Amino acid sequence: MTAKLISGIEIAKEIREELTVEVTELREKHNIVPGLVTILVGADPASQSYVAAKNKTAKALGINSEQMTLDVDTTEEDLLKLVEKCNADPAVNGILVQLPLPKHINEANVLIAIDPAKDVDGFHPINVGKMVLGEQCFLPCTPHGILEMLTRSGVETSGAEVVVIGRSNIVGKPIANLMLQKRDGGNATITLCHTRTKDMAAHCRRADIIIAAVGVPKMVTADMVKPGAAIIDVGVNRIGQASNGKAILAGDVDFDAVKEVASCITPVPGGVGPMTITMLMKNTVQAAKMAANLI
């Protein structure tokens, strides 16, 4: 039986409809309009595209969105001054500095300079610490999106064996931590695999849920998947170019083969990707509510 598709496009649309209601209520009942600032240093095409998508989504939801684009040779000092200005602006609820930054700027210095109450990416050490402790905070957007995809698709996580492939600070480590917590989408038993894992296939074959976030095209093959497992593919890998010039993309999972073994699976593209920006918007709305003491 072919696996059911977990569509990030459809789930993101559902969440955005919920957010539209929240934003409308904030405006009409409390005269509050959530505000998001995105800071882009340089002209990296992928970063420009991503920031443009964020601004477009924010405006569609009724969130005030401002993009600040700086020259690639902007100094770290000047960038930090801009972050501090946004920290002090009550109209700004969320601050997002688009990564990667030019090599002459220390990313850690910039991320830690963002007010944790406006850190809608969920990367500030204070928010990371609160996440690990299970306290209220801004969850990192991609892991949060994965949780929403699992719960809204009816995938049982409580007591499930989950294998996470990849130990990045952005996806692997946080999703592993969140899924072992006592929470919706949690209460799972976690195995975190990485480049030094011995016999990764053996770990995967006992998993009820596999989350692949390693950046290696089609690394998870059908013989690594237990029949009926749920598959979340975070990878977006460019493997070629079509005749029309568009990139040919593949995930970390061999989709065509694995879909014949799994019970449900995310596609690439159209899976986890659309969820990341949506969860950024959710964090921005949460930040506006927190600033107004509504939560």
User: Domain spanning 141-273 has what CATH number?
Assistant: 3.40.50.720
Judged against a pLDDT cut of 90, whether residue 46 lies above it is answered with no
Active-site residue 121, yes or no?
A: yes
Domain 31-115 identical in fold to domain 141-273: yes
Specify whether domain 31-115 bears CATH 3.40.50.10860: yes
Long-range contacts at 233-240 (CB < 8 A, ≥ 24 apart): 233/265, 233/266, 233/267, 233/268, 233/271, 233/272, 234/142, 234/146, 234/166, 234/171, 234/272, 235/268, 236/268, 236/269, 236/273
Digit-coded pLDDT (tens) for 211-246? 999 999 999 999 999 999 999 999 998 889 888 888
- Give the chain's length: 295
Judged against a pLDDT cut of 80, whether residue 262 lies above it is answered with yes
Q: Is 67 exposed, middle or buried (0-12, 13-18, 19+ CB in 10 A)?
A: middle
Measure the CA–CA gap between 145 and 137, rounded to whole angstroms: 15
Active-site residue 81, yes or no?
A: no
DSSP 3-state percent helix, strand, coil across the chain (nearest 5) = 40, 15, 40
Determine contact, residues 82/27, Cβ cutoff 8 Å. no
Look up tokens 């692949």; give the residue: 212
3-state secondary structure (DSSP) of residue 70:
strand
Marked catalytic residue, from 121, 208, 233, 254:
121
What mean pLDDT comes out for the span 121-145? 96
Residue 47: per-residue pLDDT: 86
* 1 pLDDT tier (thresholds 50, 70, 90): low
Beta strand 237-241 pairing with 247-250 = antiparallel
Count CB neighbours of 186 within 10 A: 20
| The CA-based dihedral angle spanning residues 58, 60, 63, 67, taken in that order and rounded to the nearest 10 degrees | 40
What mean pLDDT comes out for the span 124-143? 96
Residue 226: per-residue pLDDT: 98
* 247 pLDDT tier (thresholds 50, 70, 90): confident
List the structure tokens of 194: 């990485």
Residue 295: per-residue pLDDT: 86
Judged against a pLDDT cut of 70, whether residue 154 lies above it is answered with yes
Residue 245: per-residue pLDDT: 82
Residue 242: per-residue pLDDT: 86
**Cβ-proximal residues to 199 (8 Å cutoff; 6+ apart), any chain:** none
Digit-coded pLDDT (tens) for 165-176? 999 999 999 999
Q: For all residues of the chain together, what is the average pLDDT?
A: 96
Marked catalytic residue, from 54, 118, 218, 282:
54
Nearest alpha carbon to residue 278 among 146, 88, 93, 178: 146
Digit-coded pLDDT (tens) for 85-124? 999 999 999 999 999 999 999 999 999 999 999 999 999 9
Marked catalytic residue, from 13, 71, 78, 98:
98
Q: What residue ranges do the domains of the chain occupy?
A: 31-115, 141-273
Active-site residue 103, yes or no?
A: no
Digit-coded pLDDT (tens) for 183-202? 999 999 999 999 999 999 99
Alpha-carbon torsion (288, 290, 291, 293), positive or negative: positive
